[in-house]
């Protein structure tokens, strides 16, 4: 391999390691733009394709962009060399990023290799050796492809029939798993202490009685009161339960985690509070795709609330300084009113039955804040931008040139929340 390519790939890996330490993806992405431009000037730049994929496989968990500088460099190659190396990489070790690159190819109706890409996506979805996250991403992409691709060749039509048969079989298995889950075994223990709160451990079936049955919400793909909804409460967890308390709770902080310390036999699907919840510092979720749900039937008083990754519900009024929802993998439903200095809905919708005293609304990637007016849920326009209200030390500029809250590292909004530091100017 050209020594210049070896040097550039080594420098890319150094910046990947820097990003892993800092938690700021732009420590890699900004430099990768420059280094990929250097690769483009080389006469034998195609030799960099396989080393780049190997590099991604070694560090699968960072954000490479969508497709970002590496993807843009790879996609520029004609003649199938990039596609061939991508398929080899997916055979070795599929990652969320390389599955994303495969999905881009799969959606190109002008590519005569669509059938091959569809078969590859199906093979990843069916591969029980890879992680649940990888399989879930491949399954979602496969379902989307079957709904949107046009079978313009006999080969593609054949692969679509094969993929649909596999999806049908998967759905039948999930239905059988769901039926088995509904024939529930009792939890291995009746109560557990988590973050100083004594909870009852209850099954999905028992939890259903405490889950909200809202009927007037717009654009709901699945019910809020379905504890067997695999998108919200994964059914592959056999030892998964809800935690319930029927007391009014006052606590220093509440961080929503799947695991209970020293209890490997319990996975937490959701936290249910039938009374009020008063938190002195923060409520914080972590998992972007499937955090445990927070279900509170009473009022919530907490200076900082950060929720993501599930459908969350608060039945009473909310008092907070900052409400921050993140990612489109869930929603927050407030069945009362809210008093807040700032509501930041970063792609995750917030539905509020009655808006109280709210100082500022910030909505990223669409109008994501809804208030009930009469018989309609009306989208609320943003009143401010992030940089106007939040401390500059916790803000960064993303690859699209937008100001967002930093979510990793010492100067991240998450670190400030955990330390009890203010987020606002």
**pLDDT digit string (tens) for 188-243?**
889 999 988 999 999 998 999 999 877 777 655 556 788 888 778 876 667 899 99
Dihedral-angle region of residue 79 (phi above 0 means left; psi in -120 to 50 means alpha; beta otherwise): left
Element housing 419 (H / E): helix 413-419
Query: What is the model's pLDDT at position 235?
Result: 66
Q: Are residues 370 and 310 in the same domain?
A: yes
Q: What is the mean pLDDT of residues 49-67?
A: 89
Element (DSSP H or E) covering residue 15: helix 3-22
Last residue of a domain, one of 144, 176, 208: 176
Residue 302 domain-assigned? yes
Q: Does residue 9 lie in a domain region?
A: yes
In 341-375, which positions are buried (b, 16+ CB within 10 angstroms) versus exposed (e)? bbbbbbebbbbbbebeebebbbbbeeebbbbbeee
Domain containing 47 equals 3-176
Same domain, 240 and 171: no
- Residue that terminates a domain, selected from 353, 369, 384: 384
Share of the chain above pLDDT 90, in %: 59
- The reply to whether 254 and 141 lie within a common domain is no
| Contact in structure between 112 and 100 (CB atoms under 8 Å) | no
The mean pLDDT value for 244-272 works out to: 91
Q: What is the mean pLDDT of residues 395-424?
A: 89
Q: What is the pLDDT of residues 264-301, one digit of tens each?
A: 888 899 999 999 999 999 999 987 777 899 999 999 99
pLDDT score of 60 more than 70: yes
Please indicate, yes or no, whether the overall pTM of this predicted structure exceeds 0.75: no
CA angle 207, 368, 351 (to 5 degrees): 40
Q: Is the pLDDT of residue 115 over 70?
A: yes
Confidence of residue 1 (pLDDT cuts 50, 70, 90): low
> Across residues 55-84, what is the average pLDDT?
89
Residues 294 and 366 in one domain: yes
| CA–CA distance, 71 with 74 (Å, rounded to integer) | 5
pLDDT digits (tens, 9 = 90+) for 373-384: 888 888 899 999
Same domain, 26 and 145: yes
> 128-162, pLDDT tens digit by residue?
888 888 998 999 999 999 999 999 999 999 999 99
Considering the domain architecture, whether residues 99 and 237 belong to the same structural domain is answered as no
Q: Which helix (H) or strand (E) holds 316?
A: none
H/E segment holding residue 111: none
Q: What is the mean pLDDT of residues 335-353?
A: 93
Q: Count CB neighbours of 326 within 10 A.
A: 22
Could you tell me if residue 188 is left (phi over 0), alpha (psi between -120 and 50 degrees) or otherwise beta?
A: alpha
In the chain, % of residues over pLDDT 70: 96
- The first and second tokens of residue 394, run together, are 């916790």
Give me the helices (H) in 293-412, please: 386-389
* pLDDT of the residue at 181: 59
Q: What is the Cα–Cα distance from 330 to 232, expressed in whole angstroms?
A: 8
DSSP code for 390:
B
Q: Are residues 14 and 143 in the same domain?
A: yes
Task: Flag whether 400 is in a domain.
Answer: no
Whether residue 86 lies inside any domain: the answer is yes
pLDDT of residue 227: 87
- Residue 323 located in a structural domain: yes
For residue 17, pLDDT over 80 is answered with yes
Pair 164, 16 in one domain: yes
Q: Would 260 be classed as within a structural domain? A: yes
Question: Phi and psi at residue 167, in whole multiples of 5°?
Answer: -60, -45
Range 106-119 average pLDDT: 94
Q: Provide the pairing of β-strand 282-285 with 254-256.
A: parallel
Look at the chain and report how many structural domains it folds into: 2
The answer to whether residue 287 is domain-embedded is yes
Residue 398 covered by a domain: no
User: 129 and 24, same structural domain?
Assistant: yes
Give the residue carrying structure tokens 């929720």. Answer: 307
Residue 140 sits in the same domain as residue 223? no
DSSP 45: G
- Mean per-residue pLDDT over the chain, rounded: 89
Confidence of residue 173 (pLDDT cuts 50, 70, 90): confident
Distance CA 425, CA 412 (A): 15
Residues 35 and 96 in one domain: yes
Residues 205 and 119 in one domain: no
CA 314 from centre of chain: 21
């Amino acid at each position: 391999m050209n020594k210049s390519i070896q040097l550039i790939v080594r420098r890319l890996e150094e910046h990947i390691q820097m990003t892993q330490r800092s938690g700021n993806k732009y420590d890699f992405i900004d430099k990768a733009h420059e280094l990929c431009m250097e690769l483009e000037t080389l006469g034998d730049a195609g030799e960099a394709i396989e080393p780049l994929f190997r590099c991604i496989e070694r560090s699968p968990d960072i954000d490479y962009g969508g497709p970002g500088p590496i993807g843009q460099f790879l996609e520029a190659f004609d003649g199938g060399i990039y596609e061939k190396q991508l398929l080899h990489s997916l055979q070795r070790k599929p990652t969320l990023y390389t599955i994303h690159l495969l999905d881009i190819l799969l959606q190109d109706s002008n590519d005569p290799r669509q059938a091959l890409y569809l078969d590859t996506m199906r093979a990843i979805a069916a591969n029980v050796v890879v992680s649940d996250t990888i399989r879930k991403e491949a399954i979602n992409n496969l379902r989307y492809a079957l709904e949107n691709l046009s079978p313009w060749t006999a080969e593609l039509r054949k692969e679509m029939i094969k993929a649909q048969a596999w999806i049908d079989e998967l759905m039948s298995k999930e239905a059988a798993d769901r039926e088995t889950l509904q024939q529930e075994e009792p939890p291995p223990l009746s109560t557990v202490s988590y973050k100083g709160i004594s909870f009852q451990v209850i099954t999905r079936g028992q939890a259903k009685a405490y889950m909200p049955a809202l009927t007037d919400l717009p654009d709901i793909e699945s019910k809020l009161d379905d504890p067997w909804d695999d998108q919200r409460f994964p059914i592959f967890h056999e030892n998964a339960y809800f935690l319930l308390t029927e007391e009014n709770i006052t606590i220093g902080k509440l961080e929503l985690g799947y695991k209970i310390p020293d209890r490997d036999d319990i996975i937490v699907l959701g936290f249910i509070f039938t009374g009020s919840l008063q938190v002195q510092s923060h409520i914080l979720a972590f998992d972007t795709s499937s955090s445990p749900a927070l279900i509170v039937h009473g009022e919530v008083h907490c200076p900082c609330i950060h929720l993501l990754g599930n459908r969350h519900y608060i039945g009473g009024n909310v008092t907070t300084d900052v409400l921050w929802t993140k990612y489109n993998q869930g929603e927050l439903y407030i069945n009362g009113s809210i008093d807040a200095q700032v509501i930041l809905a970063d792609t995750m919708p917030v539905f509020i039955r009655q808006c109280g005293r709210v100082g500022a609304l910030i909505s990223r990637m669409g109008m994501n804040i809804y208030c009930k007016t009469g018989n309609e849920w009306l989208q609320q326009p943003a009143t401010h931008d992030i940089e106007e209200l939040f401390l500059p030390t916790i803000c960064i500029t993303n690859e699209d040139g937008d100001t967002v809250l930093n979510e990793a590292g010492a100067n991240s909004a998450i670190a400030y929340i955990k330390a009890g530091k203010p987020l606002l100017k």
